Amino acid sequence: MKIRSLLPLGFALLTASSISLAGQTLDRIQSKGELVGVLMENYPPFSFLNEQNQLDGFDVDVAKAVADRLGVKLKLETPSWDVIAAGHWSGRYDVCICSMTPSQARAQVFNFPVKYYESPAVVVVNAKDTRIDSGKDLSGKKVGVISASTYESYLRKDLVIEGAEDKPLNYPFDQVEIAPYDNETVAFQDLALGTGVRLDAMVTNLVTARERIAQDPRFKIAGDTLYGEPNVVATEKGDPEWDAKVTQVIGELRQDGTLARISNKWIGADITQ
């Protein structure tokens, strides 16, 4: 009788243990049947609104592939980058597949379970500019960047990429005047007005810059790349089971060629290896 009476309790404990091993984030996702991702609305070709006013791009397709692999629907939110990068989401968002670079400062609020692509940072100027030929010419210039981005930290000369602390970055310029923007579309609009009108230059992703220049000849890239940035999936701290699941899924998408296909679709090359 005693053994019989203990069986339900033992089964309950085993069930509770199994559930806890899944992690609270994955539990929430599976319970709702929905993965909530967060990314930027104006960061082509990674994320942007297409002609149908729907989110599209490299990061969007990767997020869709992750949701499909989890067997759930995808819901995307697009707050400002300041809000995304500040973290402390309190369960509002499940994951950031949003071209985030892992810095030491961000590591205080995020985990970075897996890298999914890498890209270089470049200087973009007005096509008629004759003063800025490379990073060293940014000294004393007004340079636009996304607010709270690693590019802003780079221009302040205090960027430390998480996991690359032993590889100090090169800063070829002296002091610059940093102009932070909520999104790059407005920054490019200001740069298009002419050199020195509102901006002298911008620092952004090479892929994003090429995409913008292909559509608008008023811009050009100045000089070589400034440095290379790993781009990672970011999650809230405190759920190692969810981090392990994200790492597993991204690994599967890389192994079966899904990431490469998405990259070639949007970038014209595989930047995911």
3-state secondary structure of 172: coil
pLDDT at position 226 is 95
Q: Do 176 and 141 meet the contact criterion of CB atoms below 8 Å apart?
A: yes
Residue 271, in any domain of the structure: no
Range of the domain at 98: 16-117+231-266
Q: What is the pLDDT of residues 113-168, one digit of tens each?
A: 999 999 899 999 999 999 999 999 999 999 999 999 999 999 999 999 988 777 88
pTM of the model: 0.79
Residue 67 and residue 135 in one domain: no
- Residues 47 and 234: their CA atoms lie apart, in Å, by 16
Residues 210 and 153 in one domain: yes
- Same domain as 236, residue 185: no
Determine, yes or no, domain membership for 97.
Answer: yes
Domain co-membership, 45 together with 96: yes
Partners of residue 143 on adjacent β-strands? 178, 201
Indicate whether 166 and 109 sit together in one domain.
no
> Whole-angstrom Cα distance, residue 253 to residue 206?
24
Domain identity same for 20 and 44: yes
Share of the chain above pLDDT 90, in %: 83
pLDDT tens-digit profile of 248-267? Answer: 999 999 999 999 999 999 99
Kindly state whether residue 6 falls inside one of the protein's structural domains: no
Q: Say how many domains are in the chain.
A: 2
Residue 4 lies in a domain: no
Query: Residue 213 falls within a domain, yes or no?
Result: yes
Considering the domain architecture, whether residues 126 and 224 belong to the same structural domain is answered as yes
Q: Which residues pair with 199 in a beta bridge?
A: 195
Whether 9 has a pLDDT exceeding 80, the answer reads: no
**Domain identity same for 188 and 244:** no
Q: Which two three-digit tokens encode residue 188?
A: 């490019």
